[in-house]
Amino acid sequence: QVQLVQSGSELKKPGASVKVSCKASGYTFTSYAMNWVRQAPGQGLEWMGWINTNTGNPTYAQGFTGRFVFSLDTSVSTAYLQISSLKAEDTAVYYCARDRQPGDSVDTAGYWGQGTLVTVSS
């Protein structure tokens, strides 16, 4: 069965960096796009962007350029989200979510990781 298991909660100081992992199992990792979604405390879902797991090419939504980097390690079927120069407003739960259908585009987040809480506080 498809599983996405994310790394554990992180507490970071402003200005630091964090790297969240999303380990996939139960399917061919490079056949499905991977989305990243942010949810700030008490707020709605924000689509951050996606990474083509076949080519490694990332696409970032507006507001998620510059400090946010999507990457892959296909040898261990894992996607990563790195955030640099952390700010208090980056405090949120970050989800990885696999596209429902195989392919080189993104549309429907069919399977989700459990989420990783990143807290930024001095």
Question: Footprint of other proteins on this chain (CB under 8 A)?
Answer: 35, 37, 44-47, 49-50, 59, 61-62, 95, 97, 100, 106-110, 112-115
CB 14 within 8 A of CB 107: no
Q: Left, alpha or beta for 107 (phi > 0: left; psi -120 to 50: alpha)?
A: alpha
Burial class (CB in 10 A: 0-12, 13-18, 19+), 46: middle
| Min dist. Cβ of residue 6 to other proteins (A) | 9
Report the residue number, 9 or 17, with the smaller CB distance to other proteins. 9
Report the residue number, 15 or 26, with the smaller CB distance to other proteins. 26
Report the residue number, 44 or 66, with the smaller CB distance to other proteins. 44
